[in-house]
Amino acid sequence: MKMTIIEIVIIYLALGTPLGVYKFASLPDKFTGLSLLRTTFAYFAWPAAAPRLAYRIAVANYDEQTFMQKVEHIRGRIESLAFAEATSAEIFEFREIFYRYTGLTEAGSSIVGTDHITHLDEIGVIADPAIAARCSARRNKNKISTYQTIAREDLIALVRSINHRDPEIAGQSLDLAAMLNDTATAEQLYELLNSPIMHETHRVTSLAA
């Protein structure tokens, strides 16, 4: 049974629909004619657009995996330096603070003012959806920032309490803050790492060893 031209066109467009919908859903609140043109191109010329999209997704997944590997390496290194002979409760407390700080810091940096929202009634009636989205995103960012500040203070307090075991603990924590682009935490950890008390403690520990 031979397929007609119309059937071939229908199948072709059907295969391009998921890509076209994905591109359209990815458009910002105020899209331009160029972005709409790119969406139309992705729909009608999906054989050319699909490989590029697949590559971008693969790169994003690779970056995410690499990031998590670095986080896990830092966590594992701190545990080996500070909690080699610790109890399960102490290790659990460290991991809770470590992952809470990492997660909140990453979440706070990922929120932008053009995020889409679905419940406008939660923030009141606003005529412009773009303004409503920015207001909602700002409110969410403020909430996360509050909890992230608490997590930062908990992390720094923990590092202060265990860094006498090995000065590299502060260095590893500093690497984590730098990787998360958290300047405030990085500055405090840098001061801790270079404080005279820390150097004296390291000298005494080295002499005792």
* Tens digit of pLDDT at every position of the chain (209 positions): 567 888 888 888 887 787 777 776 666 655 566 777 777 777 777 787 777 777 777 776 767 788 899 999 999 999 999 998 889 999 999 999 999 999 999 888 765 544 444 444 444 555 555 565 666 666 777 888 899 999 999 999 999 999 888 889 999 999 999 999 999 999 999 988 887 655 444 443 443 34
Q: Which of 179, 98, 109 is nearest to 140 (CA)?
A: 109
- Distances from the Cα of 124 to the Cα of 111, 129, 139, 144, angstroms: 20, 11, 13, 21
Q: Specify whether 83 is located in the same domain as 180.
A: yes
Look at residue 203 in the predicted model and tell me its pLDDT: 44
**Structure pTM?**
0.59
128 lies in the same domain as 40: no
Is residue 116, in this structure, part of any structural domain at all? yes
Whether residues 69 and 171 share a domain: the answer is yes
User: Domain for residue 125, yes or no?
Assistant: yes
Q: 37 and 61: one domain? A: no
Structural domains in the chain (count): 2
Quote the pLDDT of residue 127: 53
What integer pLDDT is reported at residue 28 of this predicted model? 60
34 and 91 assigned to the same domain = no
Among 158, 176, 165, residue whose Cα is nearest residue 206: 165
Q: Do residue 176 and residue 197 come from a single domain?
A: yes
Same structural domain for residues 67 and 19?
no
Q: Which domain holds residue 21?
A: 1-44
| In a shared domain, residues 144 and 91 | yes
For residues 32 and 115, membership in a common domain is answered with no
Residues 23 and 91 occupy one common structural domain: no
Residue 74 and residue 96 in one domain: yes
Q: What is the pLDDT of residue 1?
A: 58
